[in-house]
Amino acid sequence: MAKRKIKEAAIGFVLGTVGGSIMGATEDPVDQIMMAMTSPIRLKPLIEDIKTVGALGLGTLMGATALTIAMTSVVAGVVMAAVIASVFVTTRSCGIAHTDYASLWASAGLAGTLGTTLSGATLAFSIELIVNNYGMTGLLCALIFFSILKPPLRFVFRVLWKQGEACCTQTNWEMEKKQLEISEREQRDRVAVQIEERILTMNNEKKTGDTEDMKTWATERKLREMIERRKMETEEAELEQRTLQEWIKTVMIKYVDFLAFSGIPMTVVAVVTSVFGLFGYGRHEVVFIALLGLVAIMGYLLLNSSDFKFWMLVGCMGMLITFIIALLTLHAGQAVVLSVGNLQGNNANRNTITDRMNEHSAEEALYSAIFAAKLCQLGLGATIGGPLVRHAAGGDRVIVGAAVLAVGLLFGMEVLSPVLGEGGKAGALLGVVGASGVSAGAAAAMARKCSSWPRTLGAIAGVIIGTFVMGDGDIVRTGLQVIVVYVFAMTNAF
C-alpha cells in the first residue's frame, strides 16, 4: 500500500514538473523579447505618438492590441485543431467502433500549435509595420477595422463548418448502411433457397443430407450473427463519432464567438481614450474619469447579462487588464515627476523631464502589454488543456505532448529568428506560451481530477517547483502565472 502511494505521488510529481517546467522555461524568451522591444530604437515611435494620444491612450491601445493578438492567435489555433480533428473523425473507417485518440489529439495539437504560432507571428509583424509607418493613429484604425471585421468572419466560419460537416459524415454512414443492407438481403435470399431445398428433400425422404444441411445452417447462423454484430458496431461507431463531432463543434463555435465579440470592450476603451488624446486631453483627469466610468458600465452590463457566455467573461477581464495597463502607463510618467521632486530648472530641464516621462510611459506600456499578452495566452491555453483532460484525452499525453511541442517551437524560433524579426518573434512566442499553458493547465486539471491524494499532491508540488526552478525566480510574477493557469484550467468554457 505504501509503495503504491509513493508510486502515485512520484507519477503526479513528474507530470506536474513537466507542466510547470515548460511554463517556467518561457520566462527567459519573454524577457529577451521585452528587452528587445523596449530598446530606444523601437520605443521611438511610441515616444513620439504619446504626445498625440496621451499616456492613457497609449496604454489602452497597446493593451488592447496585445490582447487582441493573443486572443486571435489562440482562436486561429483552436479552429485549425478543430478542423483537423473533425477531418480525422469523419474520414476514419466507419466499421471501427473506437477512435484512435492518441493520433487524434496528436494531429489536432500539432495543427493548433502551428496555427497559433503562425497567426501570432503574422499579426505581430503586421502591427510592427503599422506602428513604424503610421504610428498610433494607424494602429487605432487597424484595431477598429479588425474589430468590425470579426463578426462577419464568425458567420463565414459557421457556414463553412456546416457545409464541410454535411459533406463527410452522412456519406460515410450511408455507404456503410447500404453495404450491410445488401449483405443482409443476400443472406436472407440464400436462407430462403435452402429452406425450399430442405422441404423438397424431406418430401423425397432423403436423410443422407442431414449432416450437410446442419453444416450449412451453422454457417448461415454465423454469417447472420456477424451481420448483426457489424450493424451494432456501426451504430456504436456512428454514435461515438457524432458525440465527438458535437464536442468539437461546440468548442469551435465557442471560440469563434469569443473571437468575434470579446475584443469589442477593449477596443471601445482604446478608442475613447485615444480620441480624448487626439483632442488634446491626453493627460487630463477627465480622461481617467471617463475611462473608469466606461469600464464600470460595460463590465456591469456584460456581467449582468441574462445569457452570460464565455466571451463576456474574457471580454471583461481583457477590458480590466487594458484599464490597468493604462494606469501603469500614466503612473510611470508621473513617477518621473515625483523622482525629480522640487527640482527647479529652465525650459531645457522641463523638456528633459517631459522626454523622460514619455520614455518611461512608453516603456511601461509596452512591457505591461507583453506581460498581459503572456498571461492571456497562458490562461487561454489552460482552458484548452483542462477540458482535454476532463474529456478523457489522457492527462499524461496532453501534458507531455504540449510540452514537447513548446520545446520544439522554442528551437524553431531560434533558427528562424533572423527571418521573423523582433515583432514576428514576439508573435511566434505566443505559440510557445500557449502550448506551455495547455501543458500546465492539463497538469492542474489532472491534479484536480485524480482520485488518489498522493498523486494530486505530487502534481501540485511538481507544477509549483518546476515553475519556480525553470523561471526567473520572481515570486510575484511566477505566482501570478500559476494562479491564472489554475483558475482558467478549472473554468468550463464549453
Per-residue cell: 83: 478542423
Query: What percentage of the chain carries pLDDT values higher than 70?
Result: 78
pLDDT tens-digit map of 50-90? 878 888 888 899 999 999 999 999 888 888 888 888 777 77
State the burial class of residue 326 (Cβ atoms within 10 Å of its Cβ: 0-12, 13-18, 19+): buried
Distance CA 79, CA 252 (A): 6
Angle made by CA atoms 131, 367, 467, in degrees to the nearest 5: 135
Q: What is the pLDDT of residue 423?
A: 77
pLDDT tens-digit map of 317-326? 889 999 999 8
- Residues 156-169: what's their mean pLDDT? 72
Distance CA 360, CA 355 (A): 9
Domain spans, the chain: 26-178+248-456+472-490, 184-233
What is the distance of C-alpha 449 from the center of its chain? 21
Q: Is residue 471 scored above 60 in pLDDT?
A: yes
3-state secondary structure of 306: coil
Residues 7/455, Cβ–Cβ less than 8 Å: no
pLDDT tens-digit map of 107-129? 888 888 888 888 888 888 888 88
Distance CA 174, CA 169 (A): 9
Residues 335/285, Cβ–Cβ less than 8 Å: no
**Total residue length of the chain:** 494
Distance CA 443, CA 463 (A): 7
- Residues 173-192: what's their mean pLDDT? 60
State phi, psi for 393 to the nearest 5 degrees: -85, -10
Q: Pick the closest to residue 24 from 463, 490, 489, 488 (CA basis).
A: 463
Which residues fall within 8 angstroms of residue 350, CB to CB, at 6 or more apart?
none
Hey, which of 87-96, 100-109, 298-307, 345-354 has the most confident mean pLDDT? 298-307
Q: What is the pLDDT of residue 226?
A: 72
DSSP per-residue string spanning 31-71: HHHHHHHTSHHHHHHHHHHHHHHHHHHHHHHHHHHHHHHHH
Mean pLDDT of the chain, nearest integer = 78
Per-residue cell: 166: 454535411
